[in-house]
Structure 1
Amino acid sequence: MSTSGQTGTSTAQTPRWSLIGPGLVVAATGVGAIDLVATLVAGSKYGYALLWCVVIGCVMKVVLVEGVGRYTLASGKTIYEGWSSLGWWTTAYFGPYIVVWGFVYGAAAMAGTGLPLHSLFPGLSVTQWGILSGLIGAALVFAGRYGIFEKVCAALVGIMFVTMVGAALVTVPHLPDMVTGLVPTIPDGGILYVLSLAGGVGGTITLAAYGYWIREKGWTTPVHMRLMRIDNRVAYVVTGVFVIATLIVGAELLYSAKIAVETGDQGLLDLSNVLADRYGQTMGTFFLVGFWAAAMSSLIGVWNGVSLMFADFVGHARKLPVDDPQRGSSGPWYKAYVLWLTLPPIALLLIGEPVWLILAYGVLGALFMPFLAVTLLWILNSDRVPSEWRNKLWSNVVLGLIAIAFFVLAVNELRTKIADAL
């Protein structure tokens, strides 16, 4: 594995804030356009009633990401090594998943970046802008230079944060209602919004990529455990503020005026139009830039992080040592998956996505979060990690609740995907 990023030995030697990075990358990658729209729709339907779900969602993701990071540092192995130690069934699931997921996600990610760029610069179509974004993203991460990649992600997070928090401040949030929204309640018909909002705060497969990013950063042993935990918590505080700001916009701008937005990326274009009508074209344009930053950060995060996971997956299958360069960002399998995310999905953008492929994508994707929660419970309560780094009671309780919540979401997602396909 490459460790081209800066190494960290103690917060006393290096300023703490300069050490934060991989967590911000995983959070930025996970909060994409679809997550923002889900939060906006929740705010537009229920006001602040589901604000508490955002907090719960951030806690859930902190626990999951910390578990991935703790296993990586305590064992000296990658998360895929941990999964493979549980039996053949993990490979039987993960192998098809990472191949199908990458093919479909590549097209979706490129289209997501194309929408705001087309609105800002209509000279090119959504598809043309999407393809160009995918090629730029591939060029950026192809060499596997983590330090450059992390800095670009941090810049995009800054743009996302400023635009969404700025939009929230412009709408003048109603603080008493926000406080009330921190009390757990489930409005009529809101149970799936509760689970989706909690589950959508900050990523799916990219949560597992965190273990690879900390290795790229140079954090490879239990000595870095404290740095990893600081990094993870700071990242999800930033994510929480960002998603709360999105909910505020939905509650103040849409709920109060009874304005509906579409699902999918189109919902953010709807919101930019609402902001432009209410506060002027400059505000609408400002928000479109933030929309692009959210979409682009997800694209390059996946192009880098999931490609690292694929390289590790192939390297394990070929029985290469865990520190073999071919299992990292300098190896051919990393680069091959970057191209897999970029080139074949262009065909989906041009001709459309077949129903069978979308069904497979939906089924495999819906199962990933329960898979991650259950396997972390298994791995972190076993002798695969030294006893001092195994789960404590509270970690087991939270991971158990997460597994149940995501299982319910998975069942609902599968039912919806199958119904849509039929």
Structure 2
Amino acid sequence: MSITKRLKAVGPGAMVAAAFIGPGTVTTASVTGAEFGYALLWTMVFSIGATIVLQEMSARLGLVSGEGLGEALRERFDNQIVEYVSIFLVVGAIGIGTAAYEAGNILGGAAGLATITGIDSTVWGVVMGLVAGLLLYTGRYKLIEKALIGLVAVMAFSFVASAILIGPDPGSIAMGFVPGIPSGSLYLITGLIGTTIVGYNLFLHASNVQERWSGPDDIGHSRIDTVLSIVAGGVITITIMVTAAAAFEPGTQISDIGRMAEQLRPIAGPYAELFFSIGIFAAGFTSATTAPLAGAWATTGALGWDSDMQSTQFRAVWGTILSVGVLSVLLGGSPVQIIVFAQVVNGILLPIVAVFLIYAMNQLDLLGEYTNGSIANALGAIVTLIVVWLGVRTLLSVAGVL
């Protein structure tokens, strides 16, 4: 397949990349680079591989079964109690989780625009919410997909340009891909992996591939899309880490991404600050659009509602999630607290979703010849075990045990 055809296949996977590269990812990657330099770049190699494994399964499930992950979850259990518990987990955890992420997405994107323009972030938060709402209200998947692909390209250019302008050391970058766990870094390793492998993206991917393609014959296109998009997303995260590592002495503690963008000025001039702020905005806006979509597809699928993007029920769900994000800006919500809450929700949900996904991918009556092979199951099991470990660590950390 030619390069042109491969690029034309990019679409649903790019939306997944747009979803996981939000302000939370920018924050975690920046803090990691500032504190540990290039030492944890290897973590992103694992994160990219693990995300590809789970997202490929999710996309295959959607293409072969014609169902979203929420629908498949609701229909796989004969026991009504188990079915109701599953529905509660999807509606509660995905709904609350995407709403929590949405608040952080809008707050982060607004902060980027505020740094560029000097206009208060509250104003930009409301504007972002309105624009995202109008885009979603069109119900035109191809328009939304193209808009998000364009913003991912802007984001990639902005962060890569920042990394080049600041002049990192190639040798140090190469050494960062050698696995190692510096003292005190385990929490940030957990954070990097947790911000890349996101539970609601599995619901998003299983549904949005159906908007782009029509069935099993397109699995090849979907796999190309998934690999290219997630690798590109991972590279963006790596460039953020590299920029922070080059900008600060190892051990530096930073807590404000807007301040970090401003501190790039003495090293790389005003363009680094501009590019970094544009990147933060793009990260916030793309995630602010995809989170409500994921929440709507998951909730409507689990409840058996109409999952058409132009249906009233579908619009009501994403509208509620989007409204929570805008309201958090108006009420002056704390981005740090919101991001912590979102990580807790993801830590609880992701292991459950990953286990169910592996279960669903081995159902002959659902997928026939497209069920997982032994290699896919082994890779899925390894990723799931690590995800379970991450979930437990997240909960124990928040509880103050670790």
Shared fold by TM > 0.5?
yes
Query: Which residue does the alignment assign to 1:20?
Result: 10
Q: TM-score if structure 1 supplies the norm length?
A: 0.85
Determine the C-alpha separation between the residues in 1 that align with 2:344 and 2:279.
31
Query: Which residue does the alignment assign to 1:194?
Result: 189
Q: Note the residue ranges of structure 1 that are not aligned, 5 or more in a row.
A: 1-10, 319-325
* 2:274 maps to which of 282, 285, 292: 285
CA contact 1:52–1:184 (8 Å) conserved in 2: yes
* Matched residue SS, 1:261: coil
CA contact 2:9–2:224 (8 Å) conserved in 1: no
Determine the C-alpha separation between the residues in 2 that align with 1:304 and 1:378.
24
* 1:126 maps to which of 121, 128, 138: 121
* Matched residue SS, 1:245: helix
**What's the CA shift string for 1:184-206, capped at 9, x where partnerless?**
22112222322322332264412
**What's the CA shift string for 1:342-364, capped at 9, x where partnerless?**
3344443333669x999976643
**What's the CA shift string for 1:84-138, capped at 9, x where partnerless?**
2144232121121233234433332221221112222223x22221122111100
* Matched residue SS, 1:133: helix
**What's the CA shift string for 1:376-397, capped at 9, x where partnerless?**
1111122244443222222222
The structure with the largest helix share of the pair is 2
* 2:146 maps to which of 136, 151, 164: 151
Query: Which residue does the alignment assign to 2:378?
Result: 397
| Correspondence 1:8-407 to 2 at 5 A | 15-84=5-74, 85-86=76-77, 87-88=82-83, 89-123=85-119, 125-201=120-196, 203-217=198-212, 219-255=213-249, 259-262=252-255, 266=256, 268-314=257-303, 316=304, 326-351=306-331, 363-407=344-388
Per the alignment, do residues 281 and 16 of structure 1 end up closer, same or farther by CA in structure 2, a change over 3 Å counting?
closer
Q: CA deviation at 1:419?
A: 4.6
Determine the C-alpha separation between the residues in 2 that align with 1:361 and 1:180.
32
Q: Note the residue ranges of structure 2 that are not aligned, 5 or more in a row.
A: none
Q: 1:403 is matched by which residue type in structure 2?
A: T
Q: TM-score if structure 2 supplies the norm length?
A: 0.89
Q: 2:13 is matched by which residue type in structure 1?
A: G
CA contact 1:57–1:200 (8 Å) conserved in 2: no
Give the CA RMSD over aligned residues: 2.5
- Aligned residue pairs: how many? 392
CA contact 1:26–1:203 (8 Å) conserved in 2: no
Determine the C-alpha separation between the residues in 2 that align with 1:199 and 1:361.
11
Determine the C-alpha separation between the residues in 2 that align with 1:199 and 1:160.
20
CA contact 1:362–1:414 (8 Å) conserved in 2: no
**What's the CA shift string for 1:26-51, capped at 9, x where partnerless?**
11111111112211222222222211
Q: 1:336 is matched by which residue type in structure 2?
A: A
Give the stretch that moved more between structures: 90-99 or 288-297: 90-99
**What's the CA shift string for 1:209-229, capped at 9, x where partnerless?**
011111111x13111110110
Determine the C-alpha separation between the residues in 1 that align with 2:137 and 2:126.
16
Q: 1:32 is matched by which residue type in structure 2?
A: G
